[in-house]
Amino acid sequence: IRIASTETNSIQSLENSLDGQLKVIYGDFFRLDPLVTGPVKPPAMCSDKLFETMGVAAVPWRADVPVKVFGILPQKKERNILWRLLFALYECGSIYRCGRVELNIFISEKEYKVLTAKPGDARAYQALTVLWQVGCEIQLLHMEPWSSFVTNLKHGGLAVPKSMWLPNDHLCLVRLTPQQNLFTGGLKPTNSSTFIFMVKQCLVRPKSRLTDRLNSWSLDSDGKLLRELEIPKNAATRDLYPEDYRRLFEALQNSNMFTETWFHDEALESIRNIN
């Protein structure tokens, strides 16, 4: 068993009593691979250094899961961390350089509802939904009421993230296992940033028609591509299933439409700004 943790005192004493069965590594998993230049200081650390210390070697993407991670997302940075993990997943960067790392993480119920939303849900179905559902198998392992946790607020209340539109009464243990077939079609780590940009831009206005969005990019102006994919001409962007977005992206890749327009350059610029 190997644990990366910032709470090392009690765990360190446990390591000393287990005759090598437990290895403690000081660090913060959610500060892996910081976007900085120069030496990285603990608790931040580089994932390649972490896996080297753990003795974990990279495996092919379609191989079994090489590492399982268990943790709790910091509530104030929950959405940012989910996006950062998502970029790492699609680009096979950071922890995903060694293969299909499995995440078992506690997240708020409102974010779990977003990750598992269905097409047409105006409040929950977002770009984050589409991209995580295309990229991973999502399993709910457990739901625990917020009242079960001790709070550190001075007035004694629960430190529960506010949510106006989605239920948020529980902390959810969710398993995110990358799909084995994620990169078996036209989607690849080298073009995944374009796919992410396409999905994000389509769902900026979820009520808008997909046809209008494609026309604004000078893509599929005659609707031929949508007809071939059997996507209704009047379909709103929030009505498409995650796999529809993947099929659309791969069809556009095969047609070379991305390279014939300004779309590709704008996608790269947008991703740089996000990172």
Which residues belong to the annotated binding site?
1, 28
Query: Cβ of 91: how many Cβ atoms within 10 Å?
Result: 18
Please tell me whether residue 223 adopts helix, strand or coil conformation: coil
Annotated binding-site residues for S-adenosyl-L-methionine read: 1, 28
DSSP secondary structure string, 112-129?
A: HHHHT--TT-TTT--HHH
Q: Three-state SS for 37? A: coil
Q: Is 188 exposed, middle or buried (0-12, 13-18, 19+ CB in 10 A)?
A: middle
User: Which DSSP category does 101 fall into?
Assistant: P
DSSP label of 152 = -
Is the separation of the CB atoms in 48 and 97 below 8 Å?
A: yes
